[in-house]
Structure 1
């Protein structure tokens, strides 16, 4: 018999409720957030187990603790709330509802990244947070100069220079940490076939290719390109009522892919005349931000088909051949043999430059 368990996860405890195939409660317990305690709960109920936990911060350790004995599903927290909002909300009620949704095949599932890619994705997201902090430190220096209406840190008074020096040291320290994280990712991602294909797409550099590869994980989970656009936050939401139809901004989807494709659009406009010409036709009819978003959407369309078909980029944008091709230099590997590590060609060493767009 298969049992269905809902896990309501908190920082210090997990409330588990198990149902049988008929929906009757078999067991319920509140156990500490310890792997042995969680495994002991499932061990007391012989049989096959399926369990679900919401995609909150702590689900990593739950999967690592029970995945060998229990088939774990990751529940989409917002989707569960939309389906199962109730007046009475307790840990036991939440766990039972999760188990019920799993048993009746109504559970809105979130994607569970593969074990191989999960630590790499975390490192890349940490890199982005450090980049944001570095930019904040640099902006603080600019605001300090603006506040005193001077052009150089040397023109500030002693206390002003002290503040600026603290921001400069912070930015330099963050830059060094960012480089360490990038270097740790290189041996895992640069030789990856999908990363090599992505690096040939207009506007996508090393950071963008790494982001798309790790955040998408498996392109097969998007049956259509429209679903991919929605996940990347490249299309607006709908706010329709009666005869009224209008768009709205939505935060549903992956913010990291939104950033990656928005950056790719800026770089493609900078380097490719054909992309810039198409953007100009849209800009004449739509606001500049909308026209730029449409370029980002086209970048995502190219990426979707490159990954879906497992083919290299064909060098065309909206049916027109691009007049510019990317240079065959690191991190682009010179041949498929080099991608698999089987060639006899020269080994390309990474330059000291950062993870740029081109």
Structure 2
């Protein structure tokens, strides 16, 4: 059950973050364009009427933001992208709309969260992926040289 006053949706990218917050008491919607700095995101969230809960989609940026926010005492859910309900009728997709949609789903308690790996597990997974990428690159180079 959603108990926080403010629900926050973040559309996180490597170079920018679209943020939307819905105040459960007043219904006010606040939107912002943030840098991907964890400190910047946390400070913006802490300026909102609290307490706040946050969600963002799992993706290539990893789970560092989740760890940073939870360490600061902010409840954070990392949403499974394949389990998100899609907004009906709206064919124009923007980062800002995605952030608002995430905030609304969080407010309705409709987020299916992914399991968060430990920092060590995530680092090991990244290492394995990098190794596999190198192996694929080497195989391609050998095929080109032999061809």
TM-score by length of 2: 0.77
Partner of 2:19, secondary structure, is strand
Match of 2:99 among 95, 98, 123: 95
User: CA RMSD, aligned part only?
Assistant: 2.8
Deviations 1:199-235 (A, max 9, x none): xxxxxxxxxxxxxxxxxxxxxxxxxxxxxxxxxxxxx
Query: 1:25 maps to what in 2?
Result: 28
Is 1:57 paired with 2:60?
A: yes
Q: How many residues align?
A: 141
- Are the aligned partners of 2:16 and 2:34 in contact in 1 as well (CA < 8 Å)? yes
Partner of 1:83, secondary structure, is coil
Q: How does 1:140-159 map to 2 (within 5 A)?
A: none
Is 1:39 paired with 2:42?
A: yes
Match of 1:74 among 78, 81, 93: 78
CA–CA distance in 1 between the matches of 2:60 and 2:11?
12
- Are the aligned partners of 1:49 and 1:69 in contact in 2 as well (CA < 8 Å)? no
Is 1:3 paired with 2:6?
A: yes
Is 1:108 paired with 2:117?
A: no
Compared with structure 1, are the counterparts of its residues 5 and 59 closer, same or farther at alpha carbon in structure 2 (3 Å cutoff)? farther
Task: Give the CA deviation at 1:118.
Answer: 3.0
Unaligned runs of 5+ in 1: 145-162, 165-358
Query: 1:120 maps to what in 2?
Result: 121
- Are the aligned partners of 1:17 and 1:25 in contact in 2 as well (CA < 8 Å)? no
Compared with structure 1, are the counterparts of its residues 69 and 33 closer, same or farther at alpha carbon in structure 2 (3 Å cutoff)? same
Task: Give the CA deviation at 1:95.
Answer: 0.8
CA–CA distance in 2 between the matches of 1:91 and 1:131?
31
- Are the aligned partners of 1:4 and 1:19 in contact in 2 as well (CA < 8 Å)? yes
CA–CA distance in 1 between the matches of 2:50 and 2:76?
15
Compared with structure 1, are the counterparts of its residues 135 and 56 closer, same or farther at alpha carbon in structure 2 (3 Å cutoff)? closer
Q: Please state which structure has a larger fraction of its residues in helix.
A: 1
Greater Cα offset, 41-50 or 83-92: 83-92
Partner of 1:16, secondary structure, is strand
Deviations 1:237-268 (A, max 9, x none): xxxxxxxxxxxxxxxxxxxxxxxxxxxxxxxx
CA–CA distance in 2 between the matches of 1:128 and 1:54?
20
- Are the aligned partners of 2:20 and 2:100 in contact in 1 as well (CA < 8 Å)? yes
- Are the aligned partners of 2:66 and 2:77 in contact in 1 as well (CA < 8 Å)? no
Task: Give the CA deviation at 1:133.
Answer: 3.8
- Are the aligned partners of 1:15 and 1:92 in contact in 2 as well (CA < 8 Å)? yes
Task: Give the CA deviation at 1:88.
Answer: 3.1
